[in-house]
A and B are shown apart, each in its own frame.
Chain A
Amino acid sequence: MDVVNQLQRQFIDYSASLHREGFLDDQFTQLQKLQDDNSPDFVVEVASLFFEDCEKLINNMARALEQQQGVDFKQVDASVHQLKGSSSSIGAMRVKDVCIAFRSFCEAQNREGCLRCLQQVTHEYSLLKNKLQTLFRLQQQILAAGGSIPVVE
C-alpha cells in the first residue's frame, strides 16, 4: 500500500470514528461535499470560525454566570442559543447536545445546572477542536503526498 493510500485509509478511519463517537454528524459530511477547487479551504475556514465563535460565547457565558448579584439567565441563554446554532451548522453533535440541556437549565434559572453545562460544553469543545485539528493535519498530509481527500459518507 503506498503512502497516499495509507494516509487516505487513516483519514477515512479517523473520520468514521468521529462520527461513530458522536463528535460529528451528517452536517459535517455536507460541509465536506461543499469543498471544491473554488473553495479548497472551506471546511477549515468554517471550523476556524466555529472555534472563534465557541471561545467568544463560552467566555460570555462564564462571565454572565460569575455574577454573584443575580445571574442574567436571558443573557446566558442567548449565548447558548447562538452556540447551539453554530454547532448545528458545523455538525458538532456533542456540543449541540450539551447546549440543548444547557438551555433547559437557563430556562429553569438553575445556576448550578448552568455551571455544570458550561464545564461540559467547554470540555466537549476542547475535545472536538483537538480532533478536528488532527483531521485537518491528516488532510494536509494527504495533499502534500499528492493525493486527494476522500469524502466519507
Chain B
Amino acid sequence: MSGNGASSSSLNMISGEDVVNNNLSALVVDDSPLLRLLHDIHLKKYGLKVQVAENGKVAVDLFHLGASFDLVLMDKEMPVMNGVEATKELRAMGVTSMIVGVTSKDGPGEQQAFMEAGLDYCFEKPLTPEIISFLLEELNKHNKD
C-alpha cells in the first residue's frame, strides 16, 4: 500500500488518548539528520520510545543485538545499506515489526521494489500527523489481536 502526504491538520485533533501510547517503540532509519530529528520528535509527541539509525546496516545490527521495535520507519536511499536491502535482511531474520518505507516522490516502479522487499506500508516523506496517526491505530489494533 502506498500513500501520499496529506494536507495540513491540527495535531490537537489527532493527539487524543486513543493514539497517544506509552508502550510502543520505534526505530527511525534515515541518513538525513534532519529527517531523523523530525520523525524522532514527531513520534515522541505520540508517546513512543524512539531510537534512530543512520543507515540500514545500523538498523540491522540493532536487531542482531536483540533490540526490538514495534515500528520501523525506513528511508529508501541510504549509504552503506539502503532501505530495500535492510528491509529484506530484517524479514529474512524473522523480524515481524511494522516496517514503513519513507521515500521521496519516486516513480511507481521504485516504490513497488521497496514494497516487495517486505514493507507493510510505504509513504512519501515527510510523514504527516494523519499518516502517523493511521500507523499507530494499525499498531494498536495489531497489539490487541
Contact = CB atoms under 8 A, between A and B. Distances in A.
B41 interface: yes
Given A26-B8, A30-B8, A88-B126, A82 B32 contact: yes
Interface of B: 7-8, 10-11, 32-35, 37-38, 41-42, 44-45, 77, 104, 125-126, 128-129
Interface residues of A, number: 26
A101 to B, nearest CB: 14
Contact of A85 (B44, B45, B104): B104
Contacts, number: 55
A86 interface: yes
A89 B77 contact: no
Majority-rule SS of B interface residues: helix
B37 A49 contact: yes
Contacts of A29: 8
A89 B35 contact: yes
Interface of A: 26-27, 29-31, 33-34, 36, 38-39, 42, 45-46, 49-50, 53, 78, 81-82, 84-86, 88-90, 153
A81 B77 contact: yes
A90 B104 CA distance: 14
